[in-house]
Amino acid sequence: MRRIYDPGEPERLTPDYRDDVVFTWDSITSFHDAEPADGVHVITTEHGQLEILTGGSPWNVAQGPVLMIFSGAVQRDEGRPPPFFSGRGIATATGLPFIAITDPTLALRDDISLGWYAGNAWQDVQQDVFNLVLPLAETLGRDLWLVGGSAGGFAALDLGHQLGKRCSVLVWNPQTDIMEYSRSYVVAYLQAAFRVSSVKFAAEGWKRRGRQVMRRFGRRHSVVQGILPSQAPARLLYLQNSGDWHVQKHCSPYLEAHGYTPNGGNIWRRDADHVIWMTRFGEGHAPPPRECIIDLIKACIDPGTSILTTVRRLSASEFFGEQDERIQPRDLRPHADDVDKAVHAYVNDRNVTVCMDGVASGTAGLHWVVQVWNQQGVRIATSPLQRGWMSWPAPHSSEPLWCDIDVFDGLGHDLATRRLKIPAAR
């Protein structure tokens, strides 16, 4: 097979396997043909290698469940070298066989912490991981659980939608489109993985250019676009922290694209075994507590109980503590006219203020964003997401400016817009 891109393949960082026993294999096929013992396995693929850590002899079991765990952002303090395996402690606590896999792209450079297992110009990581796990998926089916959070959640969802009913998925706060993540991290990944210039991603349109780069190399960046709901894994629990900005940018597009509907309170479902649970378990993008992840895994693997029944039971027991239903994200599009009538916005001494008649801050996840434009129509500033009725200081300018204020519901639907003039600074 011809290499897609070879401007001089980079030298990979020297790994440190610490005290683990290491086995090497010259191909995925030779690994499959053996009965691999537990330890680190370094498997050569057509244009790279995969490194996995196994415990409980996952490839030697006749029936599940088995966990396959993907890493999120890694800590590269003090020059820590790859590989980066996550989940050994969690898997051990559940008593289940496990596979922890490191992201090969993180071995290209020591200044990136995210790769989403989406591959690079030299290695189709997504296809390699699929080829590696396919025989196990065909044996275990729904008892192969793909697990991960944030970037690892994206990888678990992506592989889950490729394997379909031959696996199940448990994720928390996942990205569902790499290009909707923070620009600095995405651009760092694109530079390392595809040797693109950061200059091309410094202005408007960087997301479009990023998507073009990944499509050019045949790497998937989204589990929202181009995937049919029928390609879903056998079971899916998508756990989303309700105070995380991922609700609007990642969770909402996914649930709408895949046909999830409200099922009361903070639960969305496609059916009894495909559930999105929006609840509060920390600040912002914080993951669930370790003990909660362990208990969730133990609850989800019960073959006789649906995911929906499990979530309802845990929600009723205040599994993540007492929840304020008032601030849970909701789809307010049916009430868009009422919201629009209630919104008030004004500028006072260059402070942009937004409030709503009779609606408390944070209700249903309501929030607003300000974009500021100069007289030439160039956007010069965007406010952070504002979750309460408050003021935001506009930038100073010697000329008058304009601002567009957009009010969104908790799922990111635009419900009301206001345009105001900001006077020139005195």
Which of 385, 305, 388 lies closest to 354 in space, CA to CA? 388
Question: For the whole model, what pTM was predicted?
Answer: 0.92
- The CATH number for 384's domain is 2.60.40.10
Beta bridge partners of 98: 55, 67
Place of tokens 């029944």: 309
Question: In this predicted model, what pLDDT tens digit does every residue of 117-172 receive, in sequence order?
Answer: 999 999 999 999 999 999 999 999 999 999 999 999 999 999 999 999 999 999 99
Question: In this predicted model, what pLDDT tens digit does every residue of 313-372 receive, in sequence order?
Answer: 998 888 888 888 888 999 999 999 999 999 999 999 889 999 999 888 889 999 999 999
Where does 95-231 have alpha helices with state H? 125-140, 151-163, 183-194, 206-216
In this structure, the answer to whether residues 154 and 226 fall within a common structural domain is yes
Q: What is the total count of domains within the chain?
A: 2
Q: What's phi and psi for 292, nearest 5 deg?
A: -70, -40
pLDDT value for 388:
87
In this structure, the answer to whether residues 221 and 181 fall within a common structural domain is yes
Q: Which of 325, 353, 369 marks a domain boundary?
A: 325
In this structure, the answer to whether residues 293 and 230 fall within a common structural domain is yes
In this structure, the answer to whether residues 81 and 130 fall within a common structural domain is yes
Stretches in the chain below the pLDDT threshold 70: 1-8, 78
Which of 362, 168, 369, 336 lies closest to 280 in space, CA to CA? 362
Q: How many angstroms separate the CA atoms of 350 and 33, rounded?
A: 69
In this structure, the answer to whether residues 280 and 371 fall within a common structural domain is no
Which of 242, 49, 69, 61 lies closest to 155 in space, CA to CA? 69
Q: Which of 303, 325, 347 marks a domain boundary?
A: 325
pLDDT value for 7:
56
pLDDT value for 239:
97
pLDDT value for 94:
96
In this structure, the answer to whether residues 306 and 213 fall within a common structural domain is yes
The residue range of the domain holding 399 is 333-422
In this structure, the answer to whether residues 351 and 269 fall within a common structural domain is no
Q: How many angstroms separate the CA atoms of 416 and 402, rounded?
A: 17
Q: How many angstroms separate the CA atoms of 331 and 383, rounded?
A: 23
Position 183 in a domain: yes
